[in-house]
Chains A and B, each alone.
Chain A
Amino acid sequence: MDLKEKLISSFFAFEEQIDLENDIHQLRNNAIKFFENKGFPTKKEEAWKYTSLKSILKDDYSIFPKKEETIEYRDIKKYCIHEIDTYQIVFVDGIYASHLSNTTHDKFDACLMSSALNNPKYKSIIDTYFNKIAPEESLTALNTAFSKEGAFIRVPKSVAAEKPVQILHFSTGNESALMLQPRNLIVVEENAQIQVIERHQSLTANAVLTNSVTEIFVEKNAMMDYYKIQNDKISSSLIDHTHVKQESNSHCSVHTFSLGGKLTRNNLNFYQHGEHINSVLNGVTILEGKQHVDHNTLVHHTQPNCESHQDYKGVFSDRSTGVFNGKVLVDKIAQKTDAFQSNNNILLDDKASINSKPQLEIFADDVKCSHGCTIGQLDQEALYYLRSRGIPLKEAKALMMFAFANKVLTGVKIPEIKNRITKQIALKIGVHLGFDL
């Protein structure tokens, strides 16, 4: 039985665990039918032209893992941003781990999707926001069908969350192969503010496939910064769908640090629904071996006077492969749009590759839209310059790569995250740097 059949037949077993009276049930039913029709995306689809899921769909994934309670904080500490005080919503093999978590209903809600879906208190929010911006697409539908657990964050009007929230998904390897489908919903109401850090991390070398969907609503004058730390084991793959809808005068940034994993696909969509909106999409990708990362972004400008800023940088060594497909859509009425997109890549080895495809569809006539894409090697002249000052080749290369990625890291507002990413990049490159950038 292939994975598609297994998932479809598992859906009936899944229905036995859930409340069939819940309104969500009809949504799930429709979603599984949609998935049944479409199946997994293949390279024949334009959006998946350079990313084949074949190699990660052949494992016999467990869909309903058992609860694992032996994991302790010391097992996961290094994967948490523990240097600062945060709320933590921790899942182990897809199941909420209360002993590792620190959630809150004080001032704002940082809790569980399962309780939000079932608690009458949240019904109006679920009705208003759940599955409203996730597009009809087979993997998203698959997630919707099985959506049961994840993080639910709601920051009420005029509240600034005093600490960031970490959403952490760990897998233990209790199953030889595990499929996870977390579903997150984040609502930042008018004038509210929050920072979120997300990480998917396997604790063993067993195969993990995560198909994650996150819907984010940033209301008027609200601010949201989202940091995705992707530095998983080489046996783990991640397909992420993050959809952001922004209202007038709001700011939202998503930073994606792709440093690990076997195959990672980041679908990141921004929908602007008001004026004077600022959207920021930043990415640093550093790959080696046979790793593959595909960034598929969309920014849809539907109203005038908005900005979007995309900056993705990648360094690829060995046989690693990257994809950047960035679409910027400017509607006819979205005059005075200021949209910037940049994708710069360095290929360190002959067998490394990147496919970069900017896609600008502009229907307004008074806009400032620019995009640039570069693919190159490290500047030999600059390397010689550094070496002539006594900096050995390896360190000179590292310095150049840091300098290259540095621009993207300057937008990171939590210094501890910046330091960690800097160190992780240094570790990947295998050098010790005498300073922090």
Chain B
Amino acid sequence: MLEIKNLHASVEGEAILKGINLEIKPGEVHAIMGPNGSGKSTLASVIAGNEDFEVTDGDIIFERANISELAPEERAHRGIFLSFQYPVEIPGVSVTNFIKTSINQVRKAQGLKDMPANEMLKKIREKAAMLEMDRKFLSRSLNEGFSGGEKKRNEIFQMAMLEPKLAILDETDSGLDIDALKVVANGVNKLKSKDNAVLLITHYQRLLDYIVPDVVHVLMDGRIVKTGDKQLAKELEERGYDWIKEEQAAKV
């Protein structure tokens, strides 16, 4: 589904990603862990098409097409979704109007007609209920005055509405208490199928207790330095990252 080959990216001339190789198959859940500043969020942004980052080398292949040069909206149209670490507040646009616009723009790009209003409403209600969202949120301005947890829940609500093929969750667990974390994780698990994939970006093993990854990668200084199964996440939780640094140093 997603294949990243030798990806290099920089921001304002500073290299952040220094040769990432990653392959995600349909039905898989991958987790990327790593210390602060290792490039985790940059990788998420680059896959989603954030133009603040410059891809200097390598390719991003999504469903056999090279998407490295595509605009963020075109990537969304193909089924890539990024749950933001810091969702942006947009006063004056309600959650409902935003998601309606989003869904219908994606449908338009796919050559489909607007979703009928009653179908849209039913889906909004269903997904909001699944995420235990207060109905009031739907008519509030997008993310404006939302708590950290509410913002994250709203991101997963959008994901549930858009039903992406590849969902990238950038630090979705940060700012969530344990109850909210369970609700959000439950939402993500319900959306999982053999045809879609999830890329989790996280600091902590905690989220991985609820959304169990098939593959865990460790990202350090812009490179994936270690790949393993869910046991690797547990090990990182217990031992931190220093032992991997030492391993790396030994290799050199």
Q: Does B26 contact A (CB under 8 A)?
A: no
Q: Does B65 contact A (CB under 8 A)?
A: no
Q: Is A385's CB under 8 angstroms from B92's CB?
A: no
Q: Is A384's CB under 8 angstroms from B51's CB?
A: yes
Q: Is A390's CB under 8 angstroms from B102's CB?
A: yes
User: Knowing that A382-B89, A387-B49, A393-B73 are A-B contacts, what are 12 other residue pairs whose CB atoms are under 8 Å apart, sorted by A's residue number?
Assistant: A381-B88, A382-B88, A385-B84, A385-B88, A386-B102, A388-B81, A390-B77, A390-B103, A399-B98, A403-B93, A403-B141, A437-B92
Q: By CB atoms of chain A within 10 A, which of B49, B81, B93 has the most?
A: B93
CA distance A433 to B93 in the complex (A): 12
Q: Does B105 contact A (CB under 8 A)?
A: yes
User: Within the complex, what minimum Cβ distance (angstroms) separates A334 from chain B?
Assistant: 32
User: Within the complex, what minimum Cβ distance (angstroms) separates A95 from chain B?
Assistant: 43
Q: Does A296 contact B (CB under 8 A)?
A: no
Q: Does B156 contact A (CB under 8 A)?
A: no
Q: Does A34 contact B (CB under 8 A)?
A: no
User: A387 — which chain B residues lie within 8 A by C-beta?
Assistant: 49, 71-73, 76
CA distance A393 to B72 in the complex (A): 9
User: B166 — which chain A residues lie within 8 A by C-beta?
Assistant: none
User: A331 — which chain B residues lie within 8 A by C-beta?
Assistant: none
**Given A388-B48, A434-B104, A435-B100, A393 and B71 contact (CB-CB distance below 8 Å):** yes
Q: Does B114 contact A (CB under 8 A)?
A: yes
Q: Is B105's CB under 8 angstroms from A395's CB?
A: yes
CA distance A395 to B73 in the complex (A): 11
8 Å CB interface, A386-421 against B: 386-393, 395-396, 399-400, 402-407
Contact with B along A248-279 (1 / 0, CB 8 A): 00000000000000000000000000000000
CA distance A115 to B93 in the complex (A): 48
User: A386 — which chain B residues lie within 8 A by C-beta?
Assistant: 90, 98, 102
User: Within the complex, what minimum Cβ distance (angstroms) separates B150 from chain A?
Assistant: 16
In-complex Cβ contact of B91 among A396, A407, A434 (8 A) = A407
Q: Is A389's CB under 8 angstroms from B98's CB?
A: yes
CA distance A393 to B89 in the complex (A): 18
8 Å CB interface, A94-120 against B: none
Q: By CB atoms of chain A within 10 A, which of B52, B76, B77, B84 has the most?
A: B76
User: B109 — which chain A residues lie within 8 A by C-beta?
Assistant: 390
In-complex Cβ contact of B162 among A381, A390, A407 (8 A) = A390
User: Within the complex, what minimum Cβ distance (angstroms) separates A419 from chain B?
Assistant: 15
Q: Is A395's CB under 8 angstroms from B72's CB?
A: no
User: Within the complex, what minimum Cβ distance (angstroms) separates B193 from chain A?
Assistant: 20
Q: By CB atoms of chain A within 10 A, which of B72, B84, B109, B158 has the most?
A: B72
Q: Does A379 contact B (CB under 8 A)?
A: yes
In-complex Cβ contact of A392 among B73, B87, B89 (8 A) = B73
**Given A388-B49, A390-B73, A391-B101, A400 and B162 contact (CB-CB distance below 8 Å):** no
CA distance A389 to B107 in the complex (A): 12
**B interface size (C-beta, 8 A):** 35
Q: Is the interface of A mostly helix, strand, loop or mixed?
A: helix
Q: Is B92's CB under 8 angstroms from A404's CB?
A: yes
Q: Does B97 contact A (CB under 8 A)?
A: yes
Interface contact tally, CB-CB below 8 A: 86
User: B102 — which chain A residues lie within 8 A by C-beta?
Assistant: 386, 389-391
19 contacts between A and B (CB under 8 A): A382-B89, A384-B51, A384-B52, A385-B87, A385-B88, A387-B49, A387-B71, A388-B49, A388-B72, A388-B75, A388-B84, A389-B98, A389-B158, A390-B76, A391-B73, A399-B93, A399-B98, A404-B92, A407-B92
Q: Does B201 contact A (CB under 8 A)?
A: no
* Cβ-closest chain A residue relative to B84: A385
CA distance A399 to B91 in the complex (A): 11
In-complex Cβ contact of B92 among A389, A390, A392, A402 (8 A) = A402
Q: Is A384's CB under 8 angstroms from B50's CB?
A: yes
User: Within the complex, what minimum Cβ distance (angstroms) separates B158 from chain A?
Assistant: 7
Contact with A along B54-87 (1 / 0, CB 8 A): 0000000000000000011101110001101001
Q: Is A437's CB under 8 angstroms from B76's CB?
A: no
In-complex Cβ contact of B105 among A382, A385, A392, A405 (8 A) = A392
User: Within the complex, what minimum Cβ distance (angstroms) separates B74 from chain A?
Assistant: 9
User: Within the complex, what minimum Cβ distance (angstroms) separates A94 from chain B?
Assistant: 40
Q: Is A379's CB under 8 angstroms from B88's CB?
A: yes
User: A381 — which chain B residues lie within 8 A by C-beta?
Assistant: 88
User: A384 — which chain B residues lie within 8 A by C-beta?
Assistant: 50-52, 72, 88
CA distance A400 to B93 in the complex (A): 8
In-complex Cβ contact of B100 among A385, A395, A434 (8 A) = A434
User: Within the complex, what minimum Cβ distance (angstroms) separates B152 from chain A?
Assistant: 14
Q: Does B128 contact A (CB under 8 A)?
A: no
Q: By CB atoms of chain A within 10 A, which of B84, B97, B109 has the most?
A: B97
User: A391 — which chain B residues lie within 8 A by C-beta?
Assistant: 73, 101-102, 105
Q: Is A434's CB under 8 angstroms from B90's CB?
A: no
Q: Is B97's CB under 8 angstroms from A388's CB?
A: no
Q: Does B106 contact A (CB under 8 A)?
A: yes
User: Within the complex, what minimum Cβ distance (angstroms) separates A40 from chain B?
Assistant: 40
User: B73 — which chain A residues lie within 8 A by C-beta?
Assistant: 387-388, 390-393, 396
User: Within the complex, what minimum Cβ distance (angstroms) separates B109 from chain A?
Assistant: 7
User: Within the complex, what minimum Cβ distance (angstroms) separates B143 from chain A?
Assistant: 9
User: B162 — which chain A residues lie within 8 A by C-beta?
Assistant: 389-390
